[in-house]
């Protein structure tokens, strides 16, 4: 089994060509320009059926890790050097993507919300002549559905999921304290800052890599002290493509990057 470790050899973090992420990295003094970063970003996105669900950026970058799932299943935690389901070896983990070696070439695994969107970093899409909307429609089409009853089950599940997402987004924007409490996240009291993950935490929070007792200190560089309005934090969270969360676990601190559903998803 893989365990999150925050100790190891030091190495430079690479710069990401993304407005939100680049500014966040520069804020923490971690953005580093290098030819290696450019080469990594020029690597094509993998066509493997893998889903990047979360990224841990450790204080020692070589000990960073990522949560990756296969075929829409629950993700597993992988470290640099691990072989992902026997399909490719992780050679680097950076903000926004995981670099793997597959059959002698480098490929990137990116967050689902980022795939086929950043055209400047996706030469394969630019050169293919395929319409972007056509790709999205193809990706969203349920596969291996035979009977009408199966289609009805899938349709109902999708509708319920969309309704749930719409309701929780509205609640987060209008009643953030109540919404966070429903998810098992409560504001820390007693002079400490941030929010704590309690024993009733929603399973999706745990799947993102957080654990009971973890304390969230900041989101996208915004410290969660008592002077910050929860609604302001909620609006920022829902408008961002993904969140860079600073987490305290005991005496350790690390960053976790997780995707966030957009308002129009």
Q: Do 180 and 210 touch, CB atoms closer than 8 A?
A: no
Domain made up of 167-259: CATH architecture: Roll (2.30)
Q: Would you kindly state where each structural domain of the chain is located, as residue ranges?
A: 19-138, 167-259
In CATH terms, the fold of domain 19-138 is SH3 type barrels. (2.30.30)
Tens-level pLDDT at each residue, the chain (265 residues): 333 333 333 333 322 323 334 334 444 434 444 556 666 777 899 999 998 888 887 777 788 888 888 887 878 888 899 999 999 999 999 888 999 999 989 999 988 765 433 333 333 333 333 344 433 333 343 333 334 554 555 455 555 555 555 555 565 566 666 767 777 788 887 777 888 888 888 777 777 778 889 998 888 777 777 555 666 666 666 666 677 888 888 888 888 877 665 544 4
User: How many C-beta atoms lie closer than 10 Å to residue 35's C-beta?
Assistant: 7
């Amino acid at each position: 089994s893989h365990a999150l470790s925050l100790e190891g050899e030091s190495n430079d973090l690479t710069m990401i060509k993304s407005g939100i992420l680049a500014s966040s990295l520069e804020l923490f003094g971690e953005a580093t320009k290098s030819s290696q970063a450019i080469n990594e970003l020029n690597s094509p996105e993998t066509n493997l059926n893998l889903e990047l669900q979360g990224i841990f950026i450790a204080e020692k970058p070589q000990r960073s890790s990522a949560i990756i799932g296969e075929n829409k299943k629950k993700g597993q935690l992988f470290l640099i050097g691990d072989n992902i389901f026997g399909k490719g070896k992780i050679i680097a983990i950076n903000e926004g993507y995981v670099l793997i070696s597959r059959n002698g070439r480098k490929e990137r695994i990116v967050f689902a919300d980022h795939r086929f969107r950043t055209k400047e970093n996706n030469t394969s899409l630019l050169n293919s002549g395929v319409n972007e909307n056509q790709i999205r429609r193809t990706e969203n089409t349920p596969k291996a559905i035979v009977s009408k009853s199966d289609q009805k089950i899938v349709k109902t599940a999708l509708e319920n999921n969309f309704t749930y997402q719409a309701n929780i987004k509205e609640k987060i924007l209008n009643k953030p304290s109540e919404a966070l409490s429903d998810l098992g996240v409560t504001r820390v009291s007693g002079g400490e800052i941030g929010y704590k993950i309690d024993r009733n935490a929603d399973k999706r929070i745990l799947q993102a890599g957080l654990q009971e007792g973890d304390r969230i200190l900041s989101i996208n560089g915004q410290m969660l002290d008592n002077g910050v309005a929860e609604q302001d934090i909620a609006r920022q969270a829902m408008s961002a493509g993904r969140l860079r969360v600073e987490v305290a676990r005991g005496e350790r601190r690390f960053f976790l990057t997780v995707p966030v559903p957009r308002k129009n998803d």
